[in-house]
Structure 1
C-alpha cells in the first residue's frame, strides 16, 4: 500500500525579522524625553513599537496607540498608518489568530491612501498578503504582493523592494513553484548583500536553502542553512538560530536520518521555548512527532502531534491545524489503527477545504481512502479515491494522482469492478513513468556532473598552487622571470587541458550511464509486454474468472512498481531481484498455448536480503528465453535461474531447454537483435570502466537449450 510521507515543516524566515536592541530602545526613550517636534515624537513612538514587535506585543500596542493618539491630534495620517502597521505585524509575529491582524493592516492602508503615502501602502499590501498566505489563500496573497511591487516599480521606491521579492518567494514556494521562488529569493539576497544587512542575509540564505531541499539538492540546501546559522549565531539572533536548527532537522528527515532530525528539532524546540515563540514551538512539536513516527515510536509521535494540534488551535492557523490532524491520522495508519485514523483525517480534510488548501486536502483523502481500503470498506474507499485522483490530476499533482490511482485500482478490483481497476492501473503506470522520465534523469545527471566539476576545480587549484611553488623555486635559482612565467603558464595550461578532458570524459560516462538505464527501463516495460499482460487479464475477466483476474492484476501492479522503484538504485538486494523475476515470469506465463515451468534457486548459505546486485541484470536474457528460446517447445518447456557464490564472485546462471543460442541468434537477426541484450552488454562495459571491477559474461550453446552465466563482484548491501 502506498504510504504518504508528510515532510517536516521548514521555517521560512520572514524578511522583517530582527532582534530587540536594548541600546537602541534606550536611545529612543531618551530622544522622546528631549525637545523634539510632535511629528518626530510620533515617529519615535512608532520606532519603539517596532523594536518591541518581536519580543513584547503589549509594549508594541502601548507605543503604537500613543503614536496614533498624538498623530490624530495633528492630523498626521502617515504616522497613524505606520502605527497601525506595527500593531498588525506584532499580532502576526506573536501568533495571534491571523484574522485579528487584518483590521490594523486595512486601517494602515486606508490612512496611507489618504495622503498618497506610498511606503505605507506598500507595507499594508505586504501585510495583507502575509495574512492571506498564512490562511492558505495563496492567489489572494500573490495579488496583494504584486500590488505592492507594482507601486514600488512605478514610484521607483527601492526601500522595501527586498521585502516584496521575499514575500513572493515564500508564497511561490508554498504553491510548489520552486523556480519562481528561487528567482525572487535570489533577487532578495542580492539586495541584502548590497546593503550588508546581516539579519536579512541570514534570512535569505535560509529561504534559498529550503528551495534547494524541496528540489532535492540536499548538499546545496545544507550549505545555505549553515551559512544562515553562522550569521545568526554571530548576531545572537535566537529566533533565526532556532529556525535553522529546525530546517537542518527537516533536511535530515528528508534523507531518512531520523535520529539526527530529532536531535536538531529538539534543539530548536528548547530555544523557541526560551523566547516563547508559540508558532515555532507548534512547528517543532509536529516535526518531532513525524520523526518519532518514522522511528516507529507511535505513542510518542501521537503525544507530540497532539500538542502541535492543540497549540495550532490556540493560534487559529487553519492550514497547520489541518496538517496536524492529517499527520495524526497518518501516524495511526502506520500503527495499523485504521479506525482511529479516520476521524482525524476527516477533520483535517474539512479544515483544509475551508481555506482552499487543495494539496493538503488531497493528501488527507488519499490516506482516508487507504484506511477504508484496509478496513474492507471498498465502495467508500473507491468514492473518496476517485475524487482525490480527479482533484490531483486537475491541479497537476502527479505523485498524489499516482497514489490515488493505485489504491483506487485495488479498491475497484476488491469490489469486483475489474475493468475500472485495469484503467486505474494504466493511469498509475503512466504517472510513475512520467515521474521517472527523461527530464528527471537529466536533472540527476546535471547534479552528478556539477559535483564532479566542483571536485575537479579543487584539483586545478591544487595544481595552480604547485605551479606557484615551482615558480618561487625557479626565482631562487636565479632563472629569468620570463622562463618562470612561461613554465607557470605551461603548468596551468596542462592543468586546464587535463581538467577539460577529464570533465568531458566524466560527462560522457554519466550521460551514457543515464541513457543506458533509461533505455533499459523502457525496454523492460515496453508497450508490447504491457499490452499483452493487460489483454490476458482482460481475457480472464471476459471468461468470468474474476478471482484469477484480480490475482494477476495485483501481480502486474507489483511488477510495475518493482521495476520503477528498483531502476532508481545502482544496487538492490538479491531478494528484491528474485521477487521481481518471480512476478515477471508469472505474468509472462499468462494465456500461453504451452505454459512453461520455471524455478529460481539460491545456493544454500546465501542471505538474499544482504547480497547486493545491480537491478534487472538477468531479466533481458530471461525475456529472450521466453520470447525465442522456448517458444517452439510444445510441452515441458523450462527456465531455471540459479544464484550462487564462487570465490569472490556472485554467479548468476540462466538455463532454458529451448532451441539453443544458434537458432535464437538466427531469429534475432531476422527480427533484429534484442535491444535489451545490447544495452545490457553496454551496461556491463560501463560497470567495468566506472567501478574498475571485473564482470564476466558467457553464453553456452547446449545440446538442447542455452546456458548464460554472469560473474559479478560479490558484495553486500
Structure 2
C-alpha cells in the first residue's frame, strides 16, 4: 500500500510538471507574439529600442524555435530598412531567407526577397536587386499571392525606372496597377497611378500624365487622404507648367495651398510651383513672394538643394527688380549653402565607400574564419583535402588582391574628385558669375549659374561610375571648357572633332579622362594668352582602340608644370596614369606629353596623346 501511494504521488508530480511546462511554453509563445507586435509601432520612431527588444527575445527564450528565429531576423531586417540602414538590412534578411528556405516557408521567403531587392537597389547594387526581384516575382506567381505579386512588379518598376528603361518600367507598374485595382486597395492604387504618370513625364507624354493624375484626383476623393490629394494637385500643377497652360497650373497650386492650410500641413512644393509660374509670366513681385514662402519651409526642413535652387531664382528676380542689395544677400547665402552641400556630398561619397569596404572586410574575415576552422578540423585529412584547401587559399588570396585593387581605385576616385573640384576653380568661377550679376546681366548670370551647377553635378555623378558613354564624357568636358571660357572672358576658343566612325552613344570610357589635360592646357598654356588662344580635342577610332589628342597653342609648359608631383600632392596626370594601370591593358604606354616648338625653337604649345581599348 505504501509503494502504491508513492507511485501515485510520483505520477501526480510528473503530471504537474508536464502541465506546467506546457503552460510555460504557451506563455512564451504568447509573449513572443506580443513583443513582436509591439515592435511594429516602435520601428520608425525608436529603432534602437526595437532592436534591443528583438535581441532580448532570443536571449530570454532558450527554447526559441527556428521559425521564431527566422521571424526575428526578418523583423530586424525590416527595422534596419525603414531606417535607411541598408547594409544591415541585407545581412539580416539574407539569414532570414536561408531559414525560411530551410523551413519551406515560401510566403515569408518571398517577403524577404522583396526587401533584399529594395535594399540592394538603395545600396546601388542593381544586378543583385534585379536577381532578388525576379526570384520574388517567380515565388509570388507560384503562391498566387496577389499582394506579393504587386510588390514584386512594383520593385521591378523601380529598378527599370532607375535604369531609365521606361518602357519596361511602365509594363511592370501597369501589372501592379491591375492587381491593386482588383484588390480594391485605393491607397496603393493612387501610389501606382503616380508612378505611371511619372513614367509618362519621363517619356515627354505630358497629356497622358495629366490624364492619369486627374484619374488619381477623382479616385482620391473617395478616401480620407488629404496629404495624398495635395501631392496629386502639385503634380498636376507642375505638369501644366510643362504644357505651358499657366492659368491651370496656378489654379491647382492654390488648391494645394488651401488644402494644406485646412489640414495644418507644411508643404513648400505649391509655393515653389507658383513662384515658377509667376516667374515665367514676368510677374516678379508675386514670384519673389512665393519663392520666399517656399524658402522658409525648405529652411525648416533643412533641404539644401531646394534652398539653392530657390535662391538662384531669387537672385535673378531681385536683379530684374533692380534690387542689387537683396541680390547680393541671396548670392552670399547661396554660396554658403553650396559649399555646405559640397561638403555633405563629399562626406556621403566617402561614407558610401567606407561602408562598401567594411562589408567586403567582414566578408573576407568570415571566409578566413571558415578557412581556419576547416584547416583545424581536417588537419589529418587526405591529400585531396589538403590540395582543395590550398586551392581555396589561393582563391582567397586572389580575391583579397582584387579587393585591394578595388580599394585603390576608390581612393583614386576620391583623389580625382578633389582635383576636379579644387577650391580655386570653384571660387574663381563664382567670383566671375558675381561680377556678371553686378553688371546687371541677370539672364547671362543665370545661364552661367545653371552651367556651373550642371558641371558640379556631373562631377559628383560620374566619379562614382566605372564607365560612362563617350557622349557623356564629351558633354561634361564641353561644359567644363565653356565654364573656363567664361571665367577667362573668352580669350581662347576650342574645337572638338569626333571621327565619324565613333558612336559616342555606345562607346564606354572611364569617366573624366580629358578634364585633367584640358585644365593643364588652360592653366599652363592658354591662361597667359590674352587673345587668339585655341584648344583642339580630336577623338578617333582605330580598330578596338580610341585615340585622343589634346592640343593647345599656349605659351608651353613651365618647369613647374612638367613635374608630376607638386608639394607632395598627387598630380592629376599621375592619377590618370594610375587609373590606366588599374585597367591592366598597358594603355599607359601610349600616353605622351609633347612640347611644341616653332622654327626658332620657341615654345608654341603642348600636345597630349593617348589610346584606350574599347569593347
Q: Give the match for residue 170 of structure 2.
A: 262
Q: Give the match for residue 4 of structure 2.
A: none
Q: Give the match for residue 702 of structure 1.
A: 596
* Contact 2:319-2:440 within 8 A present in 1 as well: no
The Cα offsets for residues 304-350 of structure 1, whole Å up to 9 and x where unpaired, read as: 22222222220212332233333333443444545433433444455
Q: Give the match for residue 602 of structure 1.
A: 497
Distance 2:551 2:151 in 1: 59
Higher relative CO (CA 8 A, sep ≥ 6), structure 1 or 2?
1
Distance 1:123 1:646 in 2: 64
The Cα offsets for residues 413-441 of structure 1, whole Å up to 9 and x where unpaired, read as: 66565424533553564365346425435
Per-residue deviation, 1:542? 5.0
* Contact 1:578-1:600 within 8 A present in 2 as well: no
Q: 1:443 to 1:660 in 2, by over 3 A?
A: same
- Equivalent residue pairs, number: 558
* Contact 2:497-2:539 within 8 A present in 1 as well: yes
Q: Give the match for residue 560 of structure 1.
A: 456
Q: 1:524 to 1:192 in 2, by over 3 A?
A: closer
1:556 match: secondary structure:
helix
The Cα offsets for residues 615-643 of structure 1, whole Å up to 9 and x where unpaired, read as: 33222223223333345556544433333
1:655 match: secondary structure:
strand
1:315 match: secondary structure:
coil
1:605 match: secondary structure:
coil
Per-residue deviation, 1:647? 5.0
Per-residue deviation, 1:702? 1.8
Q: Give the match for residue 490 of structure 1.
A: 386
* Contact 2:592-2:608 within 8 A present in 1 as well: yes
2:535 match: secondary structure:
strand
2:153 match: secondary structure:
helix
User: Would you say 1:294 and 2:205 are equivalent positions?
Assistant: no
Q: 1:612 to 1:220 in 2, by over 3 A?
A: closer
* Contact 1:445-1:514 within 8 A present in 2 as well: no
* Contact 2:524-2:558 within 8 A present in 1 as well: no
User: Would you say 1:617 and 2:513 are equivalent positions?
Assistant: yes
The Cα offsets for residues 244-291 of structure 1, whole Å up to 9 and x where unpaired, read as: 333333333233222222222222333334443333333333333333
TM-score (norm 2): 0.72
Q: Give the match for residue 328 of structure 2.
A: 419
* Contact 1:222-1:251 within 8 A present in 2 as well: yes
The Cα offsets for residues 55-102 of structure 1, whole Å up to 9 and x where unpaired, read as: xxxxxxxxxxxxxxxxxxxxxxxxxxxxxxxxxxxxxxxxxxxxxxxx
* Contact 1:438-1:518 within 8 A present in 2 as well: no
Per-residue deviation, 1:602? 1.0
The Cα offsets for residues 374-407 of structure 1, whole Å up to 9 and x where unpaired, read as: 4444444444444444544544445545554555
User: Would you say 1:276 and 2:184 are equivalent positions?
Assistant: yes
User: Would you say 1:310 and 2:206 are equivalent positions?
Assistant: no
Q: Give the match for residue 8 of structure 2.
A: none
Per-residue deviation, 1:530? 1.5
TM-score (norm 1): 0.63
Distance 2:298 2:236 in 1: 22
Q: 1:378 to 1:596 in 2, by over 3 A?
A: same
Per-residue deviation, 1:534? 2.3
* Contact 1:202-1:231 within 8 A present in 2 as well: yes
User: Would you say 1:519 and 2:415 are equivalent positions?
Assistant: yes
Instruction: Within 5 Å, give how 1:638-657 maps onto structure 2.
Output: 638-646=534-542, 648-657=544-553
RMSD: 5.2
Q: Give the match for residue 536 of structure 1.
A: 432
Distance 2:320 2:464 in 1: 30
* Contact 1:178-1:215 within 8 A present in 2 as well: no
Distance 1:251 1:684 in 2: 31
Instruction: Within 5 Å, give how 1:161-310 maps onto structure 2.
Output: 177-178=84-85, 182=89, 199=107, 202-203=110-111, 205-207=113-115, 209-226=117-134, 228-310=136-218
1:702 match: secondary structure:
strand
Distance 2:470 2:121 in 1: 32
Instruction: Within 5 Å, give how 1:366-515 maps onto structure 2.
Output: 366-397=272-303, 400-401=306-307, 403-405=309-311, 411=317, 418-420=327-329, 422-423=331-332, 425-427=334-336, 429-430=338-339, 433-434=342-343, 436-441=345-350, 443=352, 485-515=381-411
2:591 match: secondary structure:
strand
Distance 1:165 1:325 in 2: 40
Give unmatched runs, 5+ long, in structure 2: 1-29, 371-377, 598-602
Distance 2:305 2:437 in 1: 29
Per-residue deviation, 1:549? 4.6
Deviates more, 1:697-706 or 1:399-408: 399-408
Q: 1:410 to 1:217 in 2, by over 3 A?
A: farther
Q: 1:412 to 1:492 in 2, by over 3 A?
A: farther
Distance 2:261 2:395 in 1: 55
2:167 match: secondary structure:
helix
Distance 1:341 1:269 in 2: 27
2:221 match: secondary structure:
helix
* Contact 2:469-2:509 within 8 A present in 1 as well: yes
Distance 1:164 1:392 in 2: 38
Distance 1:573 1:183 in 2: 31
The Cα offsets for residues 90-139 of structure 1, whole Å up to 9 and x where unpaired, read as: xxxxxxxxxxxxxxxxxxxxxxxxxxx99999999899x69xx9xxxx86
The Cα offsets for residues 543-594 of structure 1, whole Å up to 9 and x where unpaired, read as: 66666655544443343334334434444454544444444344445575x9
The Cα offsets for residues 593-626 of structure 1, whole Å up to 9 and x where unpaired, read as: x973222231563667535543332222232233
